[in-house]
Copies of this chain bind each other. A is one copy, B any other.
């Protein structure tokens, strides 16, 4: 996806219809508990990359279901997919989640 935050956040500028459609598409890809957990599992895996074979058991879903969710995240530009041997390996697209977060709201200081 292009980076919606290039043109300000949702609340700093009036969102155009095409920008709204694009941001909505990306949010829809994220708006699923299994897909959010997959992103979290991939990010926390050694080297921030995980084989589909590592993701099935922690999620408690079938491999075809996990593969479907991973495809939605790849198609949305949130994960990369690299086939090596018999397995596909998934990693976060650098900056993709930050771009979505930045399109929703301005960064705020971390209170911790």
Where the two chains meet, the residues of A that have a C-beta atom closer than 8 Å to any C-beta of B are 9-15, 17, 20-21, 23-24, 27-28, 30-37, 39-41, 43-44, 92, 97-98, 100-102, 104-110
CA distance A97 to B70 in the complex (A): 26
Q: Do A23 and B11 form a contact, CB below 8 Å, given A101-B102, A108-B98? A: no
Which of A12, A36, A43, A107 lies at the interface centre, i.e. has the most chain B CB atoms within 10 A of its CB? Answer: A36
CA distance A71 to B102 in the complex (A): 25
| Identical copies of this chain, number | 2
B residues within 8 A CB of A20?
A: 33-34, 36-37, 40
CA distance A44 to B10 in the complex (A): 9
Among B23, B39, B44, B106, the residue within 8 A (CB) of A36 is: B23
Q: Are the CB atoms of A40 and B15 closer together than 8 Å?
A: yes
Q: Name the residue of chain B whose CB is nearest to the CB of A36.
A: B20
Among B30, B32, B34, B105, the residue within 8 A (CB) of A97 is: B105
Among B33, B101, B106, B110, the residue within 8 A (CB) of A104 is: B101
